[in-house]
Each structure stands twice: as C-alpha cells, then as structure tokens.
Amino acid sequence: MPASALDLAAVRSFENLELLARQLVDGFITGLHQSPYHGFSVEFSEHRSFNPGESTRHLDWKVLARTDKFFVKRYEEETNLRAHLLLDISPSMYYPAPGHDKLRFSVLAAAALTTLLQRQRDAVGLVTFGRTVELQTPVRSTSAHRHTLLLEFQRLLERPAPAAAGPAGATDVAAVLHRIAQQLPKRSLVVIFSDMLGRGAQEQAAALAALQHLRHQHHEVLLFHVLDRATESDFEFADRPYIFEDVETGQEIRLQPGQVRAQYQVAMRGFETELALRCGQLKIDFVPVDVREPFAKVLHAYLVKRGRAR
C-alpha cells in the first residue's frame, strides 16, 4: 500500500494503530514469494542442518524418517532477537506537511515492524529522541508490550509539530546514539529512523562516529534514511521566490530555487553518498527511503537484516 494512501484521517478512523499495522504486515507477507516464517510452535522455532559430531539430542526424527536428511530443532533462545527501534522526533521530521511528513512515515513503518517482530517472538523496545532521549521503553516480546508501543506510536501521530528550538536546541543524533550504545547490555539489532540532517560537516562526522560506536559494541545496525526526496534531495520547487525556514533553528532565507538548485543537488548527493559509503565501511545496512514510497521496502530490509543477525 503506498504511503501516500495513508493519511492521518485514515489512521484516526481506527480505534488504534493495531489494525492498520496488521494490515500493512499481512499485505506485505501476502506479496512475498516465500514466507519468512518457519512454523513457530511451543517447542521450536525452525530447523537447521545437522553438523557431524554434535549431539543428536535435538534431532528431528520425524523429518529424518520423511526426508532421510538430518535436521536439528532450533529453539527460541537461539533465534530470537532483541530489537531497539530508535525514532527521530525532532522538528525536521515534521517536514514537509502535517499528515504527510517524515515522522508519520517513520511511525507507521515502526508500528508495522513492531507487529512483525512480535509475530516472530522477537523482543522490541522503543527510543524516541530529539535533542535528547525523550522516551525509552523496556525490551519485551509480549502482546501487552506491543499494545503499549502502538499506543505510543498513535500519540506521536497526534502530537503537534514542535516550535524551532534554535541552534542550541537542535537535534543531537550523535549524543543519543552514543548513550544508547553504552546502555544496551547485549548484542542487539538497532533500527534507526532519521533524516540524519545535522548542522554541518562537524555534526555529521559526530553522527558517523556514534554509528561506529554501536558497531564497536557488536550491535547490528539498520539505518532508514527518511527524506521527502522530491524536495529535500532533488529540490523540486516551482521557480518563484520562496522563504525557506530551518525548522530546527527558525532561521529564514529568501531565494528563488532555480538559482541554487544545481549547487543544492550536488551538496545533497555528496552528503548521501558519504553517509552510504561510511555505513558500508561499518557494515551498517543503509536504506534510503522516501515518504512517498510504499512501506514494503522497510519491512523487506528488516527481514534481510534479521536473517544476517540471527
């Protein structure tokens, strides 16, 4: 389902986000050629090949009789993940317009991910941040916890955009990521939704150092770089005078887009290329997403990452 088809009016028509998140996940799974699920039961999560020399205690004898092949039952503690969803809720995430902004896209994608994680019996926690961490939940796999997270997501959808905080109150992605890297007690999957827009080269370098800190702590990292690509990357504005406002600082500038479009595009391409290159060097999955694209790209990227991290 295209992201553009889901506006806030549609979300509010539901009692909460639970039905919407289920629909997104079910629609995505239906579209897969091969299901990512492995027949969860109270006994085991999936099978893996038997390695010669290991104990036969967990051999699946029924599968052996049926296929004449050796498979071992992999139990939940072997396969379950601890996932932390980090959601940037700074002023820039409310761009470009209420109900069609980067935060809304990220919240709906995170709600769908939460539902998918819970179905796979993976534990999930939520961190929301702007200049500092605003919310940090426990990491759990229960249905009650998922319901709590969905209520928080719905609250975020209904929250008005904050006023510009000024340079001193701008988003500090680096500080938040360093704090999370220090706090996480064991190897986890860290999923970040952010536009990663800093105030200059120095802050962008600090954010990359913080991503490196997460990897140094042996966490798997999946970064969704969320932008309204038509305007933020391609600078597609009509060629007439505009007043552009920095939603983080409140600073304004008057200009005509055609006069700066080429230079802007070169700068943004350089920023995105550097970010993707550094993430590749750090073995971080970097996924550029557009708020006008379907959510399936987010869910597919998660499943690929989960397969690697497991």
Residues 69 and 124 in one domain: no
- As for how many domains the chain has, the answer is 2
Residues 196 and 107 in one domain: yes
pLDDT for 122 = 86
Please report which helix (H) or strand (E) contains residue 30, including its range: helix 17-31
Q: What is the pTM of this model?
A: 0.77
166 or 113, higher pLDDT: 113
pLDDT of 49 above 80: no
pLDDT for 152 = 92
Say if residue 288 is exposed, middle or buried (CB neighbours under 10 Å; 0-12, 13-18, 19+).
Answer: middle
| pLDDT tens digit sequence for 146-169 | 889 999 999 998 888 776 655 545
Please report which helix (H) or strand (E) contains residue 193, including its range: strand 189-194
Work out whether strand 285-290 and strand 82-88 pair parallel, antiparallel, or are unpaired: unpaired
The enclosing domain of 7 has a CATH number of: 3.40.50.410
pLDDT for 222 = 93
Residues 120 and 13 in one domain: yes
Query: What average pLDDT does this structure show over 135-150?
Result: 91
Please report which helix (H) or strand (E) contains residue 265, including its range: helix 257-281
Residues 250 and 181 in one domain: yes
pLDDT of 3 above 50: no
pLDDT for 2 = 47
Residues 59 and 184 in one domain: no
Q: Is 104 a member of any domain?
A: yes
Instruction: Give the relative orientation of helices 201-216 and 257-281 as an angle to the nearest 10 degrees.
Output: 20
Residues 58 and 131 in one domain: no
Residues 63 and 158 in one domain: no
Residues 61 and 145 in one domain: no
- Full domain range(s) for residue 50: 46-77
Residues 170 and 287 in one domain: yes
Residues 256 and 283 in one domain: yes
| pLDDT tens digit sequence for 285-300 | 999 999 988 888 888 8
pLDDT band at 14 (very low <50, low <70, confident <90, very high): very low
Residues 138 and 158 in one domain: yes
Q: Which amino acid is at 263?
A: Q
Q: Is 36 a member of any domain?
A: no
Q: Is 157 a member of any domain?
A: yes
Cα gap 217→226, rounded to integer Å:
25
65 or 232, higher pLDDT: 232
pLDDT band at 131 (very low <50, low <70, confident <90, very high): confident
Cβ atoms of residues 165 and 91 within 8 Å: yes
Tokens of 36: 């990512």
DSSP string, 78-134: HH--EEEEEEE-SGGGG-S-TTSSHHHHHHHHHHHHHHHHHHTT-EEEEEEESSSEE
